[in-house]
Structure 1
Amino acid sequence: MLPTPTKFTLVAGTGEGHTPLNAFDQALLAAGAGNVNLLRVSSILPPGARYAERVILPPGALVPVAYGALKSATPGERIAAAVAVGIPESGFGVIMEYSGRTSREEAEKTIRGMVEEAFDMRGLSLVTYRVKSVEHEVVMAGAVFAGIILWY
């Protein structure tokens, strides 16, 4: 059984490369999550997890993360990614992730609505809200990445 993460941080980055995968790798590096192995998780923040401005990730570590990402090879296209977490007074929080061919502002507006709907569906009252987003205009091959890293 894996341990339950005790802290979390929000990260985001953009990248350009000769290929969409290289652009995605650059976005991960820019976000501080490029030298680890990401384990994509669904959208629940463990109860009691505390926000950290930054977490130190050992190279090669298996890192739980909820994320939104998008790659594009269409020059001039605008792409964005956002993550947000809502936290009630007590108990678990809810994480949402989003990416699209849109602006950063639209991504943030969309994800705020997603968190509010998730809280309404669960009958929870939103006390704390955190969001992180990025936007990128593709030059050759571009990527955006926004994630909430869960750590120990």
Structure 2
Amino acid sequence: MDIKNVHIKNHEQTAHAPSTLEKIRKVKQGGKLSEQTKTFGSTYRRLDPNQPSPTVTRSGYRDFIHPFEDRMLTVRELACLQTFPLDWEFTGTRLDSYSSKRKVTMTQFGQVGNAVPPLLAEAVAKAVSEQLLDVIDEK
């Protein structure tokens, strides 16, 4: 299979403005822009490939810089951090349009950031199920 011809859903990169690229380039692996300026809080954090990811939030498209490339993560990359399977497709718009006429819909980034990671949900469900079965067995 020629990997160059495979379409990965939700893996479109954002075309960053020059001012955004300038900010991104300042951040070293594992660092964040707020270490250099006080205006960006938890946004503009470059992932460290040797450390766990910080929590993915609804504003993830502004939070995480790719560990090796000067760009923000894609919806798919954030979804992988959240343990979504590769074939899971997020629908709707990728980013907020910031238009006064925009629909009240959840963006793809918002869907990923607001989600409970599937593997976490599975672990919680399994633990609850085991506890319930133990209670039933005791009766």
TM over 0.5: no
TM range (shorter): under 0.3
Higher helix share: 2
Give me the TM-score of the superposition, normalised by structure 2: 0.20
Q: Which has the higher contact order (CA 8 A, sep 6+)?
A: 1
Name whichever structure is richer in strand by fraction.
1
TM-score relative to the length of structure 1: 0.19
